[in-house]
Structure 1
Amino acid sequence: MISCGNDEERIRPQLGSITESVYASLTVQPDSLYDAHAAVGGIVAKVFVEEGENVSKGSEIMQITNDAPELNSQKAKLALELARENLKGNTAILKELNEDLEVARLKLKQDSLNYYRQKKLWEQNVGTQNEFDARKTAYEISQKNLLALKNRYKRTKNELQTQLEQAEVSYQTSLVASRDYTVKSELNGTVYSIYKEPGELVSLQEPVASVGSANNFIIEMLIDEVDIARVKVGQQVLITLDAYEGEVYMATLTKIYPQKNTRTQTFAAEARFIEPPAILYPGLSGEANIVISKKDKVVIIPRNYLVGEDQVKTDDGLITVKTGIYSMEKIEILAGLDTGTYIYKP
């Protein structure tokens, strides 16, 4: 109620609802938004996607050209084929050693027969000492020679097996290095930006593309440090966006980052839409009001009718009141004023 009899605006307090909230600036960003980097430097050979195009996890985004990985891959492949041939092929080193082992076995068998035959004759006092010693020595040498060849065969086989395994690892590593020259998407989403064109130089420090979720968006908020102690995860958030003037969207506070930005004296927080707008774009800005508390059927007055921190102007002059929670436009009166008293706008 407004009266202009004394040229001063006046009203009576009302019973109503009041909501206390914390203000925050906001920016809308796709969920899981990240900058894609090339694992190696080089020249952009081809860009496979366009900005705004949907991609799946593992989809190729950009090809970086460099001859070195391809050459290294071919070299590693040749080394692998050689190692495999040495171990398992028709001209394998082990085949030759195996033939030497067979010869040594035959010689040992022959020397063994000669030794035991000569030993039996010697026990019958037939033959000479020199003949017996010669047969015995030849038999012992054949035994040692066969044992040495067996050890050599085993050692050579182990070495060739190790060389084959090393060649396989080198070849697989070279293939990975070749794949590093293809930038791929790490998630199912949308390519929001392409930073490099074919022919441009790519370094390890520069991002080549920006990729994020296609449908899920998060609300990034900055909350002043004087208010951060009053906000909690799970609180309701009222969202207004510059792109949707006059519309209010509901959201829920989902995350509060504990590290303060010393430059802006703010804390970062995140919220998620309960029912988002039909169309969202990265970087949309707006305002958020995080609901701290809400009361119904309380005495409220406009905040601009309050004089100082705890007084109002009435027909009897300034009186002191006890205030409660407040919003951007209203304030709760706990005591000192009722709905039947006129107050004047200072």
Structure 2
Amino acid sequence: MTTRADKKPSTLKRMIWVILGTLALIAVIVGIKVLLVMRMIHSMPQPAPVTVSTVKASEQAWQPALNAVGSLRAANGADLAAEVAGLVTDVNLKSGQEVKKGQLLVQLRDGDEVAQLQQLQANAELSKITLERARKQLAAQAISQADFDTAQADTKARMAAVAQQQVVIAKKQLRAPFDGRAGIITISPGDYLAAGTSVVTVQQLDPLYVDFNVPQGELGRLKVGQPVTLTLDAYAGRSFSGKLSAINPKVDASTRNVQVEATVPNHDQTLTPGMFAKVSVDVGKQRSQLTLPQAAIVYNPYGDTVYVVQPSKGKDAKGKPLPPTVKQAFVTTGDSRGDQVAILKGVSAGTEVVSSGQMKLKNDAPITVDNSVQPADSASPSPQEH
């Protein structure tokens, strides 16, 4: 016969039922919370499309070029200085004046030296007369050969003394060593110049040289005679043409760069020695290249990317067309030219990509296209001042 105690559930079974009930209650509560959260998410307004500008990748004629920075140098240039000390008596020069080779620029006082030269010249003339007389006497055997040789040596010595004094006087004169343009001169008659004092600079301005350095790895692409183009910040929108004229036969061991020289005509003397210039050397033949503005590229440590525009798909709940979206795509970039960069792989011609506003984007983000303002996309940009 079953007892009343046998009909009671065991303590273990009661505990299991309590746990199951508790779990079921928790599941119901969590489910209700999830439904509430999902309902809130669906009721939230969708993010507004991001306003961006776009551009299409296009094929362009591309001239491979090697870019560098250089400094202009005069074909001939010198800072003229007084070789000897003296008092300035005459300044035959104005600042910025064009000068000719050999033109007297500055005269130092040379009265004593000129007087001594005249004395030496008189002695030399007398020696010449004596030598001529000795030559006739030697022919008549009136003097010995030794006396004639002495007279001849004396004449040569006196002529040498005259030449030496002429050199001393020439040092009192500062002359232009070549044709060119003088700089600013600040001395005046009456000033005393010490030996070695710089007086004025003279620069030959046509042609000019531009010196620049290129990595040794680019040396194989260079050869004398290649076209060179210069641009300077001082002359926005203007370029200057020249030719590569020399390549240093030695590579700098510390930088592994090689010095290169180009010659640039300067007929209107617009350029000035010492100016900073951007140099572009044409290397190789012109070819077609797929390009994008540099502003369209997002540069990352893990790879360069662009945002490709995806056309609108479907309609929203109100029946309006959905805005276009974007997809991030990796690209392989090549050489750059001004504001443009060559695209070797990743997109094809005609692909529409975002050119500005990428910082607010992510995959599948909706966008609104506004191309009223576009980023710079010039092969030869020039500085703009606003």
TM range (shorter): 0.5 to 0.7
The structure where helix makes up a greater share of residues is 1
CA distance in 2, matches of 1:336, 1:317: 12
Structure 1 residues 57 and 225 mapped into 2: Cα distance closer, same or farther (>3 Å)?
same
2:170 corresponds to which of 163, 173, 179: 179
Equivalent position amino acid for 2:152 in 1? Q
Deviation at 1:50?
1.7
Equivalence for 2:280:
290
Q: What are the residue-to-residue correspondences of 1:188-203 with 2, within 5 Å?
A: 188-203=179-194
TM-score w.r.t. the length of structure 2 is: 0.60
**Could you say which residue in structure 2 is the equivalent of 1:130?**
none
**2:3 is aligned with 1:12:** no
State the SS of the aligned residue for 1:197: coil
Deviation (angstroms), 1:240: 2.9
**CA–CA distance in structure 1, aligned partners of residues 55 and 196 of structure 2:** 63
- Could you say which residue in structure 1 is the equivalent of 2:158? 167
Number of residue pairs the alignment of both structures matches: 288
Q: What secondary structure is seen at the aligned counterpart in 2 of 1:83? A: helix
Which shifted more, 4-13 or 190-199? 4-13
1:129-168 alignment, distance < 5 Å: 153-168=144-159
Q: Which residue of 1 aligns with 2:98?
A: 54
C-alpha change, 1:323 and 1:211, in structure 2 (3 Å) is: same
Query: Residues 195 and 233 (structure 1 numbering): CA distance in 2 closer, same or farther, change over 3 Å?
Result: farther
Unaligned runs of 5+ in 1: 103-149
Q: Does the alignment pair 1:218 with 2:208?
A: yes
Which residue identity lines up with residue 103 of structure 2 in the other structure? S
Q: What's the CA shift string for 1:51-90, capped at 9, x where partnerless?
A: 233333222111111445234324423432453454446x
Q: TM-score, normalised by structure 1?
A: 0.66
Which residue number in structure 2 is paired with residue 43 of structure 1? Answer: 87
1:206 alignment partner in structure 2: 197
Aligned positions of 1:299-314 closer than 5 A: 299-306=290-297, 307-308=299-300, 309-314=303-308
Corresponding letter in the other structure for 1:338: S
From 325, 337, 360, the equivalent of 1:327 is: 337
Alpha-carbon separation, structure 1, partners of 2:338 and 2:107: 53
Once the 2 structures are TM-superposed, how far is the Cα of residue 236 of structure 1 from its aligned partner? 2.8
Q: Distance in 1 between matches of 2:170 and 2:256?
A: 44
Identity %: 20
TM-superposed CA distance for 1:297, in Å, is 2.7
Q: Secondary structure at the match of 2:295?
A: helix
Q: CA RMSD in A?
A: 4.0
Q: Which has the higher contact order (CA 8 A, sep 6+)?
A: 1
Q: Deviations over 1:254-305 (max 9, x none)?
A: 345568899999876543446x574526358453231344644321122233
The alpha carbon displacement at 1:338 in A equals 0.8
For 2:183, what is the secondary structure of its paired residue? strand
Change (3 A) 1:289 1:59: closer
In 2: Cα distance, 1:278 partner to 1:231 partner: 29
* Structure 2, gaps ≥5 residues long: 1-47, 311-325, 359-386
